[in-house]
Structure 1
Amino acid sequence: MTTGSPAAAHDADAPVDVVCLGESMVTFVPTRPGRLADVPAFARTIGGAESNVACALAAAGHRTRWVSRVGADGFGDHLIEAIGSYGVDVRAVRRDPERPTGVYFRTADDRAADGHEVLYYRAGSAASAMAPANVPRRDLWAGRILHLSGITAALSEDCLALMSDLMARPSPDHRPSPSRSAAPLLGGPGRPLVSFDVNHRPGLWRDAVGPRVLLELARGADLVFVGEDEAEAAWGLRGADAIRAALPEPEVLVVKRGAAGATVFAREDGAAGAMGAGCHAPSPRVDVVAPVGAGDAFAAGFLSATLRGLAVRDRIRHGHLMAAAVLTVPGDLTQPPARAHADRLVALDDTAWGRLRLGPGWTGDDQEVRTR
C-alpha cells in the first residue's frame, strides 16, 4: 500500500479524528503452514487491534493517532516506523528504557482452526506498564473518537486502572448527542465519543474475572463492538437481542455475526431515549484469502462512516467492505477501497447488495465487482 512520511503529514495543532490506545507487537508469521516446532523460518510483521484500526482509518483518509508504549529497542523502532508509515500520528508513543517491546508468534492457519498456535511474549512489556499516571489525558482526549479494546484491560492491573478511568461514565448532562445525529459529537466538555471493541481473549486474563470486567467496561462506552460468538462465550448471551438487553447503556451497540452480517442498536433520543430496534445488514459474499484482521477492519469502516454522519445501515455496509478488503489479502492490513468506490457499493439496493461477491483485487477502481 502507498504510505507517506508521518512527520511531514501531521500538524501538531490540527484536529484528530480518532485516537487509538493499545499495545502493538512485532508479529512473526511462519513462511509455510505447520506446527511452530516444525516451521524453519518466520516473516516479520506487526499486530495490534487498536493500531490496526488506526492504520485502516488513516489509509481511508482520516487523521488518526496511536497512543502506546514500546521498548527502547529495535522492535520498538520497527513498530513506530511501520505504523507511522500508514499516515498514523505516532508522536504520543512513549519509549520505555526498562521494558521490552512485546512480540508474538503464530501459526499460518486460521485462528479458529484445530492446531492453531499463538505464543505471546508480552508479560512485562512496555505497553503493560501503561497507567493513568503515565498516559497523558491530553493525548487521548485530542480526537472526536477515542477507540479502545478489552485487550488492553487484560495486560496488567495498571492497564485496567487506565481503562476504568477512561471509561468512567460521565454525568447525564455530558452524554453524547443522539447517535442518529448527522455527526458524532463529544461526550462532554473535552471528552470524545468512546468506542470500545470487547475483543475477549480468554488466554490473556490471569483469572476468571475477565468477562465481568469486560461487561463493566462496555457499559461505560458510547459505542460498543462485540461478536455474537464472544458474547456467548464470555457472558452466556445468545443472540443480538439478549446482548442488547445486557448492555442498555451504550448509545450504539454493534453485534458482529460473522458471515451472517451485523446488527446495530442505536438509542433513539440520547441518554433518555428508548433503545431502537436493531438494524441488520448482511455481509457480502467474500472469497477469503486469510481470515485475520477482519474485526479490526470492520470497526474502522464503521467508525469512518460514523465520522461522516452516514445512516446506520450504511455504517454497517462500510464496515463489511473494509473487512472484505482485509479478508481478500494475506495480512491484517491493506489499502481500503477508494471512498467513491465504496460509496457506490454501499448505495446498492438490497437485492444488488445481496448478489455481491468480492474476491482478491476487488478494491481497485478498475476492478469488476462480481455478483452471484
Structure 2
Amino acid sequence: MAMFLPEGPPDRARTWSRAVGGAESNVACHLAGLGVPVAWVSAVGDDALGRAVVAEVAAAGVEVSGVVVDPGRQTGLYLKESGTVRYYRTGSAASCLGPEVLDRIDFDGVHLVHTSGITPALSESCLALMRALFAMPRRSHRISFDVNWRPALWAGRDRAVLAELANAADIVFVGADEASEVWGTAEPQRIRTVLTGPEMLVVKQGEHGATLIERDRAPVFEPALRMDVVEPIGAGDAFAAGFLAALLDGAPPRHRLRAGHLRAASALRTREDVGPPLPPEVVAALLDADERTWAAWRMSR
C-alpha cells in the first residue's frame, strides 16, 4: 500500500510524505536487502499510487512481475499518525484477490512463501486464496505465517481462522500481545499448546526479546537489543525477514533470532516501515558476540 507520513503534528500538517508499506511487501523488501531473491505477489489499482508502490518495491530489489494491475479498483493506502495507523483499503485492488492468483505463480524452485493474518481478514475471496495456498502440496517450499493481528479487520469475522491457518503453516510468528488478545495467553509454551502444527513457532515479546520453539527441541530465548526507538510500526516485519533470511542460510536457532532482532532494529530507527540497514560491520560483530556483549550493547539513533 501507499503510506503517508505527516510533516509535523498530524492534525495541523499541510504536507505529507509518501512512502510504501504493508506487511508482506515490507518483508519482501527486507529480504531483498539481505540478499535473498524474492518476489512479491499482490494487486494495485491503475493509478499513480499503485505505480509508485510497484516502482519502489521493485527498486528495493524485489521481483514484481506477479503484481496485478486492477483497472476497476484503487490502491490501498494508510496514514501514520504519531504511532497510530489509519487504513483506507476497503474495496482496494489487493482486497479483491482470490484463489485464481495461484494459477499464475510458478512454485518451482521456491523455498519459502510468506503470508500474514491480514490477508484472510480483507475479504471472503482473500480468505479463499489463503486456504487454497495452504492446501497446496509443498514439494519444495515451506509456508511462513505472521499472525499480524488487526482487531478492526476481524470485527464480525471468525478469528478461529487465525489458528486454522497458523496450524497449517510451517513457520509462525506471533507477538505475545497479539496472542494474549486472540488466544488469552502471552506465555510461549502455552501459545504452543494452541499452535501445535507449525514446525517453528516464534513468539515476539517486544522490547524483552523473542522465543523460538521448534518441534522436539528446547525453547530458545534471545533478548532484544536495547535501543532508542523512533517508530515501532514495521519492526515485526523486519524481524520476520531477518529470521527467515538466516533460516534460509542454514543458521542455528540463536543466530536466527539475533538476525531478526538486528533487522528489526533498522526499522525501529526510522519513521518509515523499511529503513536503512544497520552497518554490516555492526551486524557481523553482534551476530557472533558473546551473551554479555549482546546484552550490554545499546543502539542509539
Q: By the TM > 0.5 criterion, same fold? A: yes
Secondary structure, aligned partner of 1:335: coil
The secondary structure found in structure 2 opposite 1:95 is strand
2:83 to 97, 110, 125: 110
Structure 2 counterparts to residues 57-76 of structure 1, below 5 A: 57-76=31-50
Output the CA distance in 2 between the equivalents of 1:106 and 1:142. Answer: 37
Q: Cα gap change, 1:340/1:139 in structure 2, threshold over 3 Å: closer, same or farther?
A: farther
SS of match in other structure, 2:203 = strand
User: What aligned pairs does 1:25-40 form with structure 2 within 5 A after superposition?
Assistant: 25-35=1-11, 38-40=12-14
Cα RMSD over matched residues? 1.7
Task: Verify: 1:223 aligned to 2:190, yes or no.
Answer: no
Q: Does 1:319 align with 2:260?
A: yes
- TM-score scaled to structure 1, two decimals? 0.77
SS in 1 for 2:105: helix
Match of 1:252 in 2: 200
Alpha-carbon distance in 2 for matches of 1:140, 1:41: 43
Q: 1:49 aligns with which of 11, 23, 29?
A: 23
1:31-59 deviations in whole A, cap 9, x for unaligned?
11243xx4322111111010000001101
Structure 2, unmatched stretches of 5+, are none
Please identify runs of 4+ aligned residues in structure 1 that moved more than 3 A.
Answer: 139-142, 337-341
Q: Distance in 2 between matches of 1:259 and 1:65?
A: 30
* Residue aligning to 1:154: 121
C-alpha distance in 1, partners of 2:14/2:36? 39
Structure 2 length-normalised TM: 0.95
Task: Give the SS at the match of 1:67.
Answer: coil
Q: What SS does the corresponding residue of 2:118 show, helix, strand or coil? A: helix
* Change over 3 Å in CA distance of 1:238–1:327 after alignment to 2: closer
* Aligned amino acid, residue 77 of structure 2: V
8 Å CA contact 2:117–2:145 kept in 1: the answer is yes
Task: Check the 8 A contact 2:147/2:173 in 1, yes or no.
Answer: yes
Q: Which residue of 2 aligns with 1:205?
A: 154
Structure 2 matches for 1:322-361, cutoff 5 A? 322-337=263-278, 341-360=282-301
Asked if 1:195 corresponds to 2:162, the answer is no
Rate the CA distance shift 1:122–1:354 in 2: closer, same or farther, 3 A. same
2:235 corresponds to: 294
Partners of 2:184 and 2:153 in 1: how far apart?
19
Structure 1: stretches of 5+ with no match in the other structure: 1-24, 112-117, 171-187, 269-275, 361-372
Relative to total residues, which structure has the larger helix share, 1 or 2?
2
Q: Mark the CA change 1:260 to 1:141 in structure 2 (over 3 Å): closer, same or farther.
A: farther
Q: Which residue type is aligned with residue 330 of structure 1?
A: R
Partners of 2:186 and 2:282 in 1: how far apart?
36
Please state if 1:78 is matched with 2:59.
no
The size of the alignment, in residue pairs, is: 301
Structure 1: how far apart are the matches of 2:280 and 2:79? 34
Assess if the C-alpha contact under 8 Å between 1:57 and 1:63 holds in 2. yes
Letter aligned with residue 169 of structure 2: A
Q: 1:276-295: per-residue Cα shift (whole Å, max 9, x none)? A: 22100001101112222110
Q: Per-residue deviation at 1:145? A: 0.5
**SS of match in other structure, 2:275:** coil
C-alpha deviation, 1:135, in angstroms: 3.8
Distance 1:62 1:72, change over 3 A: same
Give the Cα separation in 1 of the matches to 2:17 and 2:70.
25
1:95 equivalent among 48, 56, 69: 69
Sequence identity, in percent?
46
Shift of 1:208: 4.1
CA distance in 1, matches of 2:68, 2:119: 16
Confirm or deny: 8 A CA contact 1:101 1:126 kept in the other structure.
yes
Q: Residues of 2 paired with 1:337 and 1:76: CA distance?
A: 29
Contact 1:321 1:342 in 2 (8 A): yes
Whole-angstrom distance in 1 between the partners of 2:198 and 2:108? 19
Name the CA distance, whole Å, in 2 between partners of 1:142 and 1:83. 22
8 Å CA contact 2:101–2:129 kept in 1: the answer is no
**1:19 maps to what in 2?**
none
Partner Cα distance (1:29, 1:139) in 2: 36
